[in-house]
A = this chain, B = another copy of it.
């Protein structure tokens, strides 16, 4: 989506260690008018999927998930991160490795808020290795819910997550697909 690609070109910053910093408009400061346009785009792409719940993960997915949810008139559920394994009987849990932060989180959702009648759209800001996405898909499966797909703001298309997800039959809609990035040559996007 050109609107987001242009914004990333203008304000995204590439750092060593494969880091694309977008905290001026995505994950520290949130450009809400921009995010609202992206939320509408997710709505248009999934409008026929019968979505009745948006699932994301704290913290940076919550803003775009909430803006998207209003168009579906659906609630958001955000998975919580916990350093310790939570073995409580009333939650679904999955393990998620963060390569960015070099640690492993357990993510969890209360069984009260995800169930067999839910048709779930996962919303998140980034897709790279797919760790977070597959963790969320795992929670959806545990709940017996139906996965409609995943709406992603920025996919690092040169990493395996998106490819693996699509091979598994998950409908992934990424609004910007980074083909390559470097401080020297800047950022290029996959031509759709």
Contact = CB atoms under 8 A, between A and B. Distances in A.
Interface of A: 23-25, 28-33, 35-36, 54, 58-59, 62-67, 69-70, 73-78, 80, 109-110, 112-113
A30 B78 contact: yes
18 contacts: A24-B112, A25-B75, A28-B78, A29-B76, A29-B77, A29-B112, A29-B113, A30-B75, A30-B77, A32-B54, A32-B66, A58-B59, A59-B78, A59-B80, A62-B62, A63-B63, A63-B66, A63-B78
Contact of A76 (B32, B74, B76, B109): B32
A28 B62 contact: no
A66 to B, nearest CB: 4
Chain A interface, >50% SS class: mixed
A32 B69 contact: yes
Given A32-B70, A32-B76, 12 more contacts: A23-B110, A28-B78, A30-B75, A30-B77, A32-B74, A35-B66, A59-B59, A59-B62, A63-B63, A66-B66, A66-B67, A67-B67
B76 A33 contact: no
Nearest to A110: B28
Contacts of A76: 29-30, 32, 63
A55 to B, nearest CB: 10
A110 B25 CA distance: 13
Contacts of A31: 75
